[in-house]
Amino acid sequence: MKSFKEIISKANNKIAGIAAAPGIIIGKSYLFAKEKIEISKSPIDDIEEALKNFEEALALSKKELNKIFNIAREKMDEIRAAIFEAHLMILDDEFLLSSIRKRIKEEKVQPEYIVATEISKYQQIMVQSSEYYMKERAQDIEDIKNRIIRNLQKKRWQSKIEKDVIVISESLTPADTLLFTKHETKGFVTDHGGLTSHAAIISRSFNIPAVVGTHNATQIIKDGELVIVDGFHGYVFYNPTEEQINFYSEKQKKLIELQKGLEEFKDKDAITTDGKKINVEANVDVTGEIDLVISAGASGIGLYRSEQLLDEIGGFPSEDEQALIYSKLASRVYPLICTIRAFDVGGDKFKFQDYKEPNPFLGLRGIRFLLDNQNLFKEQIRAVLRASVHKNIKFMIPMVSTLDELWETKKIIEECKKELRKDKIHFDSKMKIGIMVEVPSTAVMSKDFASEVDFFSIGTNDLIQYLMAVDRGNDLVADLYQEFSPVVLRTIHYIVQGAKEFDTPVSLCGEMAADTLAIPILVGLGLDSISMSPATILYAKRIINSFSYKKAKAMAEECLQMKTEKEIQQRILKFFEENNISRTRNII
């Protein structure tokens, strides 16, 4: 059978987006186009009648939302269900409601016009506010506005939706998403939205594969057409070829097979058959993923990508807002450790509008940006320190390429500690400070860094791209993005050995840790911790429990002598066969 790379590179019927909820689904598309709401501004004669209509529409909207809130509470955890509770609170906002009533009386025009303009004003205020989550909440309010207007116009939510379809839509409100799940929707594809959109969060809680942020899926995919959604890699195939259908059907079957018996690893540690314990930690992009971290029995959070907050909020949150977010995060996983990474802005991530760079991946990214914007950096450091009172936070610096950057960072952290002491604010004075090893210069100097930090985390996503000079997001050179290249393995080995000389713990948090085929060699290379997306943790634990460290180490030593990726891959495959471990590569 063809490899994933071959399937992807050949396909001219694929749409790329953001992998928002894992899974594979093949099915019929349903193009969900929102009904355009026409708003009338015509004058009214009977004010009492208009006010009565408004109260009825309001009551009906509340009833509908209550129903949705109850479904949410039944099917989701409280934090996510709270999205709908917040909607209900808006419908009880006396300030908003009394201005609507007042304007209906004074202006004597259709209530739907007043509702539309008043709620839009409310939205505007929220968009301009710097408060956490306001941006997305403003979008949610669109849903509430349309709901009241539709009820004023006495229209119903049109749901001619068949069961078992894949919904393709420009965007989805949380309420739409939830109602679709009631129709046993099999998958979601949207033009807009990111990992943090509520549609994405809800899809993840319902385990419905989703690809969001495709830009133009609604313009390309026809209603009723067969589509494949690959929620692991963020691809959608429309009108798929027989080869693509066979490839993904095979993956689906394997996935079902592999899921059997997985649950029993929830409460088990990851220990090789000869007794070496490996910490399997979680990478967290969105706060909403925490439940998955806990239910998969992760050893902690190995990487919290704090820059995701910037996308969620659309800017830098204040020190107080950050302190609250990080405290909540740390207390949710307590007593487990939570590794917060400083904002890794730049590259293909959140961009600070002041900078225009021809080569952003080689530009002002991670620590380079932070040292150039020390006020922002200090706010984050103080917030992390304030959240560290329970001593379960570690702080990690991204994109370090020189010792000077590390020294400068340590100096700033000391300054922040001094300021907090002066203000009599408590924090963990021994909070561990580590670095991402993801730039070749730092890998080469790893011994020098090891004596200066409390821990390393190898970021293979970037390390591979910088070692091999391949853009990690460029399909054209994807063949050269080789995680099993001898260069990559020898570099990981070198970093681990350097760290061990100083007893500095090393973890690895790049996607390579989530490639189940890579796990034995990573263990064999001496890594004590690996961190991956929560969806992969149980698979990783099962694999680690099925081979011995001694054999993995011997295999790794052989691979370190090899000269090509192909040779190494074959050796690893042989290891899986020899140890009777089911191969899960490319499924997740």
Stretch that binds ligand PEP, among 3-11, 112-120, 442-450, 456-464 (CB under 6 A): 456-464
Residue 510 touches which member of ligand PEP, Mg ion, none, C-beta under 5-8 Å by kind: ligand PEP
Is residue 198 part of the annotated active site? The answer reads yes
DSSP state for residue 513 in the 8-state scheme: G
Q: Which of 281, 311, 312, 438 lies at the binding interface for ligand PEP (CB under 6 A)?
A: 438
Q: Which residues of 78-98 are buried (b: 16+ CB within 10 A; e: fewer)?
A: eebbebbeebeebbeeeebbe
344 interacts with ligand PEP by CB under 6 A? yes
Q: Which of 53, 197, 446, 460 lies at the binding interface for ligand PEP (CB under 6 A)?
A: 460
**Cα radius of gyration rounded to whole Å, the chain:** 26
Run of H or E including 237: strand 235-238
Dihedral through CA 87, CA 89, CA 91, CA 95, nearest 10? -130
Pairing assessment for the beta strands 24-32 and 270-271 based on DSSP bridges:
unpaired
Distance, CA of 435 to CA of 404 (rounded, Å): 13
462 interacts with Mg ion by CB under 5 A? yes
321 interacts with Mg ion by CB under 5 A? no
459 interacts with Mg ion by CB under 5 A? yes
Q: What mask, x for binding ligand PEP by CB under 6 A, covers residues 261 to 300?
A: ----------------------------------------
Nearer to ligand PEP, 303 or 387 (CB): 303
Q: Residue 21 forms beta bridges with which residues?
A: 210
Helical residues (DSSP H) of 334-435, grouped into ranges:
367-372, 374-387, 403-422
HSE toward the beta carbon, residue 126, CA cutoff 13 A: 19
Residue 581 touches which member of ligand PEP, Mg ion, none, C-beta under 5-8 Å by kind: none
Report CA torsion sign: 110, 114, 115, 117: positive
Tokens 């902690």: give the residue: 300
Q: Which residue among the candidates 87, 198, 338, 416 is catalytic per the annotation?
A: 198
Shortest spacing between CB 366 and Mg ion, in angstroms: 7
Nearer to ligand PEP, 115 or 399 (CB): 399
Task: Kindly state the tokens that stand for 525.
Answer: 């290379």
Q: Which residue among the candidates 338, 416, 509, 559 is catalytic per the annotation?
A: 509
Q: Which of 99, 461, 569, 579 lies at the binding interface for ligand PEP (CB under 6 A)?
A: 461
Q: Which of 288, 459, 520, 526 lies at the binding interface for ligand PEP (CB under 6 A)?
A: 459
347 interacts with Mg ion by CB under 5 A? no
462 interacts with ligand PEP by CB under 6 A? yes
Distance, CA of 91 to CA of 80 (rounded, Å): 19
Shortest spacing between CB 462 and Mg ion, in angstroms: 4
Subset of residues 85 to 144 that bind ligand PEP, contact rule: CB under 6 A: none
Q: Do 183 and 159 meet the contact criterion of CB atoms below 8 Å apart?
A: yes
Shortest spacing between CB 511 and ligand PEP, in angstroms: 7
Contacts to ligand PEP by CB under 6 A: 303, 305, 344, 438, 459-462, 509-510
Catalytic residue positions?
A: 198, 509
